[in-house]
Structure 1
Amino acid sequence: MYKKPSIKEWAVEDRPREKLLVQGTRSLSEAELIAILIGSGNSKESAVELARRILGAVNNDLATLSKKDAAFLLKFNGIGEAKAVNIMAALELGRRRKEQAASVKTTILNSRDAANYFRPLLEDLPHEEFWVLLLNRSNTVIDKFMVSQGGVTGTVIDVRLILKTALEKLACSLILCHNHPSGNIQASEADKKVTQKIKEAAQLMEIAVIDHVIIAHDQYLSFADEALL
Structure 2
Amino acid sequence: MHFQKNIIVNPDKNKMQDSITKTSFTSRITDWPEDERPREKLIQNGPEAVSSAELIAILLGQGTVKINAVDTAKLLLKRFQSLEGLASASLIEMQEVPGIGPAKAVTLLAAFQLYRNLQKETAQKVVVKFNDPAAVARIYMPIIGHLKKESFYVILLDSSLKKIRDVEVTRGLLNASLVHAREVFNPAIKYNARGIIVLHNHPSGLLEPSPEDLKITKRLSESGEILDIPVYDHLIITENGYYSFKEHGLMS
TM-score by length of 1: 0.87
2: distance between equivalents of 1:41 and 1:88?
A: 18
Question: Which residue identity lines up with residue 64 of structure 1 in the other structure?
Answer: G
**Aligned twin of 1:126:** 148
1:50-74 Cα shifts (integer Å, max 9, x gaps):
10110111222x2221221122111
Once structures 1 and 2 are overlaid, which stretch shifts more, 68-77 or 18-27? 18-27
Q: Is 2:28–2:68's contact at 8 Å kept on the other side of the alignment?
A: no
1:159 pairs with 2:192: no
1:140-162 Cα shifts (integer Å, max 9, x gaps):
122222211126x5254243232
Evaluate the alpha carbon distance shift between residue 115 and residue 9 of structure 1 in structure 2; reply closer, same or farther with a 3 A threshold: same
**Aligned twin of 1:197:** 219
**Aligned twin of 2:8:** none
Q: Is 2:79–2:97's contact at 8 Å kept on the other side of the alignment?
A: no
> Tell me, which stretches of 5 or more residues in structure 2 are unaligned?
1-23
**Aligned twin of 1:82:** 103
**Aligned twin of 2:79:** 57
Question: Which residue identity lines up with residue 151 of structure 2 in the other structure?
Answer: E
1:114 pairs with 2:132: no
2: distance between equivalents of 1:8 and 1:220?
A: 45
Give 1:178 deviation, angstroms.
1.1
**Aligned twin of 1:25:** 47
2: distance between equivalents of 1:84 and 1:128?
A: 23
**Cα RMSD for the two superposed structures:** 2.3
TM-score by length of 2: 0.79
Q: 1:48 aligns with which of 67, 70, 73?
A: 70
Question: Which residue identity lines up with residue 185 of structure 1 in the other structure?
Answer: L
Q: How much identity, in percent, do the aligned residues show?
A: 33
Question: Which residue identity lines up with residue 247 of structure 2 in the other structure?
Answer: D
Equivalenced residue count is: 225
What's the secondary structure of 1:175's corresponding residue? strand
Question: Which residue identity lines up with residue 112 of structure 1 in the other structure?
Answer: A
Give 1:186 deviation, angstroms.
1.9
1: distance between equivalents of 2:34 and 2:168?
A: 46
1: distance between equivalents of 2:175 and 2:49?
A: 41
Question: Which residue identity lines up with residue 60 of structure 2 in the other structure?
Answer: I
Q: Is 1:176–1:211's contact at 8 Å kept on the other side of the alignment?
A: yes
1: distance between equivalents of 2:130 and 2:65?
A: 54
1: distance between equivalents of 2:100 and 2:215?
A: 45
**Aligned twin of 1:145:** 167
Q: Is 1:14–1:32's contact at 8 Å kept on the other side of the alignment?
A: no
**Aligned twin of 2:122:** 101
1:151-191 Cα shifts (integer Å, max 9, x gaps):
6x525424323222222332211111112222322212211
**Aligned twin of 1:71:** 92
> Which structure's CA Rg is the greater one?
2
1: distance between equivalents of 2:89 and 2:121?
A: 22
Question: Which residue identity lines up with residue 85 of structure 1 in the other structure?
Answer: V
Q: Is 1:122–1:129's contact at 8 Å kept on the other side of the alignment?
A: yes
> Tell me, which stretches of 5 or more residues in structure 1 are unaligned?
none
What's the secondary structure of 1:103's corresponding residue? helix
2: distance between equivalents of 1:13 and 1:184?
A: 44
